[in-house]
Structures are given as C-alpha cells and as structure tokens.
Amino acid sequence: MNQNRREFVKLSGVLAVLATAGLSTDEALAQQQAWNKTAFEAKTLDEAVKALGGPAATQSADISITAPDIAENGAVVPVGVTSKIPNTQNVYILVEKNPSSLAAGFAIPAGTEANVSTRIKMGQTSNVHAVVKADNKFYVATKEVKVTLGGCGG
Amino acid sequence: MADPMRIRATEQPDGVDVRVLMSHEMETGQRRDAAGKVVPAHFISNVTVSHNGKPVLSAEWGPAVAKNPYLQFKFKGGKKGDKLTVTWVDNKGETRTDEAMIS
C-alpha cells in the first residue's frame, strides 16, 4: 500500500515537470510567430538546413569560422563567421551536439559584410557548422571546438 | 525592464564596425533549479540593427546564444554622426531599443 503511494507521488512529479515544459514551448510559439521554430528545434545539420528551406548544404572553402580550438568555458564560446561567397543572404551558426543544433541566424542585407561574430553556448566538445545561404543555395563549413567545461546544465 | 545595451559603432576606412553587448539572462530551458523544476526558457529571439531607419542586420537567435549576448559586424554606407538603432525581442515578448551615434 505504502509502496503504491510512493510510486504515485513519483509519477505525478514527473507528469508535472512534463506539463510545465510543454506549456512554456507553446507560449513561446504564440508570442514569436516570426521566429523559425522548426529550424531552432532541428537536431541535426541536415534537418536544420531543410527547415531553413534548402535541400542540402555543400561544403565550401570560402567560409571561415573563427572559434577557439579549445574552449575552456562552454557557456561562452566566441564564434565568428566570414563568408567570401558573393550575394550572401544569411549566415547560420550550428552546434552539432547541442540539444538543438541551430544557435543563431543572421540576415545580411546588401551593404553589410558577411562577417558576424557572437558568443554561443556549447554543451560539450562538438563540431561547429557555419551555414551560408547565397543565391538561394546553401554552403557549409565545419570546425571542431573542444569544450573542457560544458555550458548547458550546471 | 532589462538594462540598457552597450553599443559601440566606429567609422573605419572599410565600413562601420558595430559592437553590441546586450544584457539578458538567456535561459535555455534545459536547466533545473534546486527543487528539480525546469527553469523556463527565456532568451532573445530577434535582433534588428538599423542605420538611419534602414535595417543593416537582423538576427534570429536560439537559446544557445550565450548569456549577455555579444554581437559584432560591419556595414558600408554609414558615416560619423549617423544614428544606429538596436532592438531586441525575447520569447516572452519583452523588448528593448537603444540608440547610438557612429563615432
């Protein structure tokens, strides 16, 4: 009898956590229509590229990623992307092993250099992909960043 | 209300160099508090930078952007004394706009 009660308490706790998690994502969806939710929920590079509207990304040597080889703190990893591809429209930063791959996307109007830097979080050592959309084609470059202290959880 | 952004825009021979430091929690929605409850996600989702009313960069961010986000880029066509406006919106609908002069 007591045992059953214990199980029940445990189970309801789990359900409560699930319910709150579900609620917060729905709220976010309602408030941010312009935000590309599918892309930000994609788990892999290919999924994210599809969600952004491309069939697949081809490797390109014209994209360079500025990031440390070893990041001491995964909560703050400086990443810069430079694209030498003409007519670059968008630059995206993806982290392969994060819970959701896509970290940030930038729209580059004409007159702005395809060169942006920001700081991202990384859960663990992973490949960082820079995806560039130019003339409606997708290109990708990859760099591995080793993380000694994760930025998620904690 | 969130703290003001720190914006630095400097005119250089090859364009205007813009650096923005925002003040935001950037909660991922993955962390749990001491009681084991998930801390709800709270992050900047959209950022727009305009020069004299014309957008020069817009960004969509996920929760994987680091706390107190930093952004740096360069654009052409700006000159000293021009006005630069930076606006962000987060996933809870909060927003903040700050202005700076190009120097």
A36 contact residues in B (CB cutoff 8 A)? 60
Q: Quote the Cα angle for B18-B63-B39, to 5°.
A: 135
Interface touch A104/B62, C-beta < 8 Å: yes
Position A38 scores a pLDDT of 86
Give B3 to chain A, closest Cα distance, Å: 19
Per-residue pLDDT reduced to its tens digit, A70-95? 998 888 999 999 999 998 999 999 99
Residue B24's nearest CA partner among B103, B90, B100, B73 is B90
Task: Check whether A58 has a pLDDT greater than 60.
Answer: yes
B34 touches chain A (CB under 8 A): no
A77 touches chain B (CB under 8 A): yes
Torsion of CA A95, A96, A99, A101, to 10 degrees: 60
Distance from C-alpha of B42 to C-alpha of A67, rounded to nearest angstrom: 25
| CA A62 to chain CA centroid, nearest Å | 21
Position A57 scores a pLDDT of 85
What amino acid occupies position A94? L
How big is chain A, counted in residues?
154
Position A7 scores a pLDDT of 62
Interface touch B60/A105, C-beta < 8 Å: yes
A116 touches chain B (CB under 8 A): yes
Evaluate whether ipTM surpasses 0.85. yes
Q: Quote the Cα angle for B28-B18-B12, to 5°.
A: 160
For every residue of A127-151, DSSP letters joined together read: EEEEEEEETTEEEEEEEEEEESS-S
Position A46 scores a pLDDT of 87
Position A54 scores a pLDDT of 78
Task: Check whether A26 has a pLDDT greater than 70.
Answer: no
One of 3.40.30.10, 2.30.42.10, 3.80.30.20, 2.60.40.10 is the CATH number of B6-101, namely 2.60.40.10
What is the H or E stretch that residue A41 is in?
A: helix A37-41
The domain spans of chain B are: 6-101
Position A154 scores a pLDDT of 44
Q: Quote the Cα angle for A16-B39-A79, to 5°.
A: 140
Residue A102 token pair: 């896509």
In the stretch 5-64 of chain A, residues with CB closer than 8 A to chain B read 13, 17, 20-21, 24-25, 27-28, 31-32, 34-36, 40
Position B53 scores a pLDDT of 87
CA atoms within 13 A on the CB side of A96: 13
Distance from C-alpha of B82 to C-alpha of B101, rounded to nearest angstrom: 6
B55 touches chain A (CB under 8 A): yes
